[in-house]
Structure 1
Amino acid sequence: MTQWEYVTVPLIVHATKQILDQWGEDGWELVQVLQGDGGNLVAYLKRPKGA
């Protein structure tokens, strides 16, 4: 069974693509984007442990 590690990343609206592209290059997969406290966007990402 695959074990996952997770990370939350604050997103800057004018740099969302660049931020997600960088994390994607490191093997992270976007799971969801939610609005956090104060209206800020937060990305939830996962990747297999040891990746």
Structure 2
Amino acid sequence: MQKWEYFTAPVLVHSTKMILDNFGEEGWELVQIVPGMNPENLVAYFKRPKGEESK
């Protein structure tokens, strides 16, 4: 059975692509992105298969 690890991170609206690309390079898949506490912030939820940490 596949096991997952999860990660939550704040994302600034003005640099969304760069931030998401960085997490993608580390093997994280974006699951959902939701509004943060203020209009300039978002909260991103990621997952990746357990044991696939970037070296």
Structure having the larger proportion of residues in helix: 1
Identity of aligned residues (%): 63
TM-score w.r.t. length of structure 1? 0.91
> Structure 2 regions of 5+ residues with no counterpart?
none
The one-letter code of the counterpart of 2:50 is K
Establish whether residue 13 from structure 1 lines up as the match of residue 13 from structure 2. Answer: yes
TM-score w.r.t. length of structure 2? 0.85
**Equivalent residues in 2 for 1:19-38 (5 A)?**
19-38=19-38
Aligned pair count reads 51
Let me know the Cα RMSD of the aligned residues: 1.0
> Structure 1 regions of 5+ residues with no counterpart?
none
